[in-house]
Structure formats: C-alpha cells, structure tokens
Chains A and B, each alone.
Chain A
Amino acid sequence: GAGVSQSPSNKVTEKGKDVELRCDPISGHTALYWYRQSLGQGLEFLIYFQGNSAPDKSGLPSDRFSAERTGGSVSTLTIQRTQQEDSAVYLCASSLGTRFMIQETQYFGPGTRLLVL
C-alpha cells in the first residue's frame, strides 16, 4: 500500500477485555515497530520486529501485552485483560530495516486510539 495502515482507528473496550490492534506496514519494509503515546507523553517503544529475527520485546510494559508478525508483514498487538491505564494511542511504524543503514526513516501509521472504560 501507499503507507502504513492501522485498524481499528478507534477502540472502546471495557476493563478486563482483550483487544487486538492490527498494523499493515509498507510493502517491502522488513522492520516494524509498535509504540504507545499517552496524552502529553512522548512515544513509548513497545516492541520491534526485524525480518525473521526474534523480536525485541524489551519495551512491553507487562505480560498482558504481546505481539506477532505473520509472514514478515502484518502485525497484531494484543492486550489481554485491559486496564484503564492502557488507554492511549498505539502507533505502528515500519522502515526498510536494512541493518547496514542504521539511520533509517520510520514511516508511521495513523494510530489506534484505545479507550478502556
């Protein structure tokens, strides 16, 4: 596609429910990132996928958070037993992911706005 797409654009859920957020990266981009942005806060790194390598999960805030990337393309971020503090905008970004070019541009999707009631 022309850019990174994310779905849904908005999600309202009840505390304790599970949610799945989807990211479609730019075709051909091997690197994919998930970030969380709370109101008035910067982008908080969550997880990073690079090709077929094991993902860097160092930013996941708790074991309720997990992410998968199938076939090196689409990624799903899952939040189990959601809490009110999970309310935020979840942003996905992709980049070419060539390890020899460390200074790469990240292309962001529009984000999913999650509200946990």
Chain B
Amino acid sequence: GAVVSQHPSWVICKSGTSVKIECRSLDFQATTMFWYRQFPKQSLMLMATSNEGSKATYEQGVEKDKFLINHASLTLSTLTVTSAHPEDSSFYICSAVLGGGYTFGSGTRLTVV
C-alpha cells in the first residue's frame, strides 16, 4: 500500500543547531502534507499544513520562522526545526492525504540537549 517514509526516526542534536525531518511519499503524489507534534502521553497537535508549491499554513501559536516547512515536490515535504532548544524535544509525525483517508509517517523522535 501507499507509504510515507519519514526520516530520521530519531535524532539528538545540540541546543542552537537545526534539524531537518523529511517525509517522502513512495508510490503516490502527496499534494498536501500535514505536520503534527506529539508530546509524551498526549495527543497529536497539528502544527501546519503544507501544499506542494505554495507556502505552508501554520496553526495558531506555531512559530513559522522556527519550524520551516518546504513542500517543493509532490513526493517530498520537509520540516526544519531551526535553532532548536530543549523545549522543542518531541515526536514529530507527518501525514499525507490519500484517497478518502490519510497515511502517516513513522515519526521522528527529536531530543535537543
């Protein structure tokens, strides 16, 4: 079936550095990708919606300059956490619209030390 490949699955970075998370749709074209953030034992909170070839739409309270989203092709969307700080440590998941439903990446565990 259709798969969204998300990389890396986990990353540890130093405070102040930037981290890029990639989501690739492997056998379909993802015109829309959603990026979620999940805190421990909590639900998935929508961060932003990215559409291929246009600027991402960010949810209220999400800093667009900190969480840079690029959706330059129909098979690749990236989330870059810039100048990461320990409070950015979280589990990030992408999701693509597919048919009448959604398919999710496997998630990225980001730890900022």
> Do A and B assemble together?
no
